[in-house]
Amino acid sequence: MDRGALEALNNERFEHKGTYFESKITSPEVIDAIEHMEIRDSDVFLVTYPKSGTVWTQQILSLIFNEGHRNGTENIDNMTRVPWIEFSMNSIDFNSRPSPRLFSSHLPYYLMPRDLKSRKAKIIYVYRNPKDAMLSYYHFFKMKTNIKHTINWETFIELFMSGEVFCGSWFDHVRGWYTHKEDFNILFVTYEEMKKDLRSAVLKICKFVDMNLDEKAVDTVVEKATFTNMKHDPLANYTFVPNEFLDRSKGDFLRKGTVGDWKNIMTVAQSERFDKVYKEKMGDLPIKLWWDLCEETTS
C-alpha cells in the first residue's frame, strides 16, 4: 500500500463510530446530532454509498415532488432541494423546511435518525455495481482539492476494498442497509435499473412516495433526468460546488454515467481479486444478479 496515499487520507478524515468521514465537511458532533433529528411522516430520505447515483436520484426526486416542473425552485440547485443531513457545506435549518422534506445521506443505517427505525418516513436506497462505484470514486478523488497526494488506481482499489475511503466500506454500507431493511420503510433501487429503463424506475419511485403523476409529468421527469440533460443543467450537474471542495479542471462530477466502465480499466487480476472479496463479504446476499443482467443491455 502507498503510505503517502494513506497519510493523505488520514489528514483529511476522522473515524466516528466505525466509519470514516471527511473532516472538511462534517464533524462527530454533526453526526451525533442526526440521531435526534425530528422526523415527519412525510419525509423522504435518499441514501447511498458515494458514487452510486445520488445526484441523479436527487434530480428525479425533486422533480417528482414538483410534478416534473420546478415550481418555485427554478433557481435552487439539487443539493439545496435535497440537502445532505450530515454535511455542513450549505447550512440549512431542517426544521423550518416545509413538508414534504427531501434529504440525502451517505450514512450507514445505524447512524441515521432514530425515528426512522420505527418506520416513520420513507427511505430510497440506491446502490450500484461496486466496481463502477469504485471507478467513479477514483475519478472523484482526483477532483478533491484537499487530497494533495496522487493516488493511483491500484492503490485506490486497495483503499476502497479495505474501507479506508470517506464513508467507509461499500460492503459494510450495502450489507448493513440490506440486512436491516425490515427496520425501515425502504425501497431499494439500483443505478443499473435506472440506466436500463429510467421511466420504469421513475414510476417505481413515484409509487413508493405516493406521487401520482400524469403521463406528461412523468415524461418531463425522465427527460430532465437523462445524463445529457443533467450534464448541461447548472442546477443539477454540481458545477455549483465551490472550487474549494472540487477542482473542476481535474474532471466532471457527471463524468460518463455508464454501466460497466470498470471493464475499461480493471485488469483481469484486479477484477478477480475484487470478486473474491465480494464473494467473501456479500456472497450470501441476492444482489449481484441485477448487475449481470443489466450490463448486457445498458453500457
Q: Which of 232, 279 has the CB closer to ligand PPS?
A: 232
Which three-class secondary structure string do you get for the chain?
A: CCHHHHHHHHHHEEEECCEEEECCCCCHHHHHHHCCCCCCCCCEEEEECCCCCHHHHHHHHHHHHCCCCCCCCCCCCHHHHCCECCCCCCCCCHHHCCCCCEEEECCCHHHCCHHHHHCCCEEEEEECCHHHHHHHHHHHHHHECCCCCCCCHHHHHHHHHCCCCCCCCHHHHHHHHHHCHHHCCEEEEEHHHHHHCHHHHHHHHHHHCCCCCCHHHHHHHHHHCCHHHHHCCCCCCCCCCCCCCECHHHCCCCCCCCCCHHHHCCCHHHHHHHHHHHHHHHCCCCCCHHHHHHHHHHC
Stretch of 51-59, 110-118, 154-162, 263-271 lying at the interface with ligand PPS (CB under 6 A): 51-59
Q: Among 26, 44, 45, 54, which residue sits at the site for ligand PPS (rule: CB under 6 A)?
A: 54
Confirm or reject binding of residue 256 to ligand PPS (CB under 6 A).
yes
Size of the site for ligand PPS (CB under 6 A): 21
Nearest-approach distance from CB 261 to ligand PPS, in angstroms: 6
Does 53 bind ligand PPS (CB under 6 A)? Our answer is yes
Active-site residue, from 106, 139, 180, 232: 106
Site for ligand PPS in 154-213 (CB under 6 A): none
Q: Is 245 in the site for ligand PPS (CB under 6 A)?
A: no
Q: Are strands 102-105 and 19-22 parallel, antiparallel or unpaired?
A: unpaired
**The only residue of 19, 62, 66, 136 in contact with ligand PPS, by rule CB under 6 A:** 136
Q: Which burial class, exposed, middle or buried, applies to 273 when counting CB atoms under 10 A from its CB (0-12, 13-18, 19+)?
A: middle
CB of 263 to ligand PPS, least distance (A): 12
Question: Does 36 participate in catalysis according to the annotation?
Answer: no
Q: Among 19, 20, 31, 48, which residue sits at the site for ligand PPS (rule: CB under 6 A)?
A: 48
The residue within the footprint of ligand PPS, chosen from 5, 22, 47, 50 (CB under 6 A), is: 50
| 52 is an interface residue for ligand PPS by CB under 6 A | yes
Is residue 250 at the binding interface for ligand PPS, with CB under 6 A as the rule? no
Q: Which of 142, 149, 255, 273 binds ligand PPS (CB under 6 A)?
A: 255
Q: How far apart are CA 159 and CA 163, in angstroms?
A: 6
Residue 5 Cβ, how far from ligand PPS at the closest point, in Å? 19
Of positions 20, 21, 56, 109, contacts ligand PPS by CB under 6 A: 56
* Active-site residue list: 106
Contact residues for ligand PPS (CB under 6 A)? Answer: 48, 50-56, 132, 136, 139-140, 225-227, 230, 254-257, 261
